[in-house]
């Protein structure tokens, strides 16, 4: 609690950056990956050649969030520290934080009800919903806000939509922490509304309703859990603005925006479109860079297969896998332990619902005999040491 009686909120670090730098390097750096980058993102050993995408792994927002969590542990060594949930979607990183005594309110046996004004609460890179934030503010606990700047940019536009009476149509996963937090921003103003669409198919249903109207009750039943309280499509789809979960597939987010804009123009006329439709570029630059880089890798190199590394509940990692799987045999793996042998791999089926390790499948004969060329990328929440360990395992398999 600050001297003014307001909760103490850290948003720009905790003045312990130098103190945690060595520990962060020990936990997440890879000399091997650094060397491969210097050598043109190519590594050859035995019968295997690995091509790394030129952008992969930790993005700035993830790096910052993890850094702040480490700083919090050093700054408050004798206080209980809680995370509202996973700081990022990477099991290795989250387990590292647990090992430092940072408790996750999403873990079994934990509860936000136990948090007091003497505790420290870290808000994850995805951000948290406004009502959850207000609960912690009311408790008076110290807050460490690691919300990514790209997420904040989306919030700014969603808030502007709400202020002007536009419904935010959000391309995202309705149960994802970031999308829930973004949707809550639309409720800052009485006229604020939101509707979450998962993909082009759901966006198509919305566009049909915009153009022609339809069965109001059926629409509400379909999108009830993905819409703001009291959502009425006959009223709330008249003026709309598009936004997105920052880790979604960039091309799909842009296409959904075009679909909605076209539906509005068909309903109200091209001249009236500005009065009924808004869209801003809310694609995360890091997400776009990683998607562009893996596309370039597929275009430029003759590969036998792709490995995509990252948490199974990591949206940006799943979308990298989707891009690759459209063009080449692709395996989405969570960590080095998924590489069992040159014959056996455990992986998440591309396109399967985001879930835990329990939904892995096993594939045999995944690594071709003879000389083999593997493409490798990693989601924005995957540290370099994990990538380095995977490359070393591939080398062992191909001696």
Q: What letter does residue 358 receive in the DSSP assignment? A: G
- Give strand pairing partners of 144: 10, 122
- Show the beta-strand stretches assigned E in the chain: 9-10, 42-45, 48-52, 81-83, 103-104, 120-123, 142-145, 167-171, 193-197, 240-244, 277-279, 305-309, 330-333, 344-347, 361-364, 372-378
Calpha distance 5→7 (Å, rounded): 7
Burial of 141 (0-12, 13-18, 19+ CB in 10 A): buried
Find tokens 């776009």 and name the residue.
Answer: 288
Burial class of residue 138 (count of CB atoms within 10 Å of its CB; 0-12, 13-18, 19+): exposed
Q: How far apart are CA 48 and CA 347, in angstroms?
A: 20
Report the residue count for the chain: 399
> Active-site residue 178, yes or no?
yes
DSSP 8-state class, residue 334: S
Q: In this structure, are residues 380 and 286 in contact, taking their beta carbons and an 8 Å threshold? A: yes
Catalytic residue, chosen from 55, 86, 177, 178, is 178
Residue whose C-alpha is closest to residue 333's, from 93, 66, 90, 124:
90
Question: Token match 């109207």: residue?
Answer: 213
CA 28 to chain centre: 19
Pair of tokens at residue 239: 């003026």
Return the number of other C-beta atoms located less than 10 Å from residue 166's C-beta.
24
The residues carrying an active-site annotation are 178
């Amino acid at each position: 609690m600050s001297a003014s009686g307001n909760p103490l909120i850290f948003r720009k670090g905790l003045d312990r950056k130098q103190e945690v730098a060595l520990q962060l390097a020990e936990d997440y750096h890879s000399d091997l990956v650094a060397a491969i980058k210097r050598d043109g993102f190519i590594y050859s050993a035995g019968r295997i050649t690995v091509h790394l995408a030129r952008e992969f792994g930790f993005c700035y927002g993830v790096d910052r969030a993890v850094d702040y969590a480490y700083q919090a542990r050093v700054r408050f060594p004798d206080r209980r520290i809680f995370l509202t949930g996973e700081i990022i979607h990477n099991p290795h990183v989250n387990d590292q934080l647990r090992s430092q005594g940072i408790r996750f309110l999403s873990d079994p046996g934990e509860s936000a009800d136990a948090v007091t004004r003497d505790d420290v609460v870290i808000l994850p890179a995805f951000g948290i919903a406004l009502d959850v934030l207000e609960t912690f503010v009311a408790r008076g606990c110290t807050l460490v806000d690691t919300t990514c700047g790209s997420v904040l940019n989306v919030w700014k536009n969603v808030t502007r939509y709400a202020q002007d009476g536009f419904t935010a149509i959000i391309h995202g996963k309705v149960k994802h922490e970031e999308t829930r937090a973004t949707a809550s921003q639309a409720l800052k103003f009485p006229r604020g509304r939101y509707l979450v669409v998962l993909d082009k198919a759901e966006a198509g249903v919305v566009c049909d309703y915009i153009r022609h109207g339809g069965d109001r009750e059926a629409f509400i039943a379909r999108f009830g859990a993905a819409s703001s309280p009291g959502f009425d499509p006959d009223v709330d789809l008249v003026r709309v603005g598009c936004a997105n979960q920052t880790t979604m597939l960039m091309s799909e987010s842009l296409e959904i925006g075009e679909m909605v804009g076209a539906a509005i123009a068909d309903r109200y006329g091209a001249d009236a479109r500005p009065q009924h439709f808004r869209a801003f570029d809310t694609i995360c630059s890091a997400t776009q860079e990683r998607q562009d880089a893996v596309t370039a890798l597929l275009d430029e190199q003759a590969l036998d297969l792709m490995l995509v590394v990252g948490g199974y509940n990591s949206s940006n990692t799943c979308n990298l896998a989707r891009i690759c799987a459209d063009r080449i045999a692709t395996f989405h793996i969570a960590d080095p332990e998924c590489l069992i042998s040159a014959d056996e791999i455990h992986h998440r089926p591309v396109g399967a619902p985001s879930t835990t390790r329990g939904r892995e499948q096993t594939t045999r004969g995944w690594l071709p005999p003879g000389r083999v060329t593997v493409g490798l990328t990693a989601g924005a929440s995957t540290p370099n040491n994990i990538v380095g360990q995977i490359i070393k395992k591939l080398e062992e398999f191909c001696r």
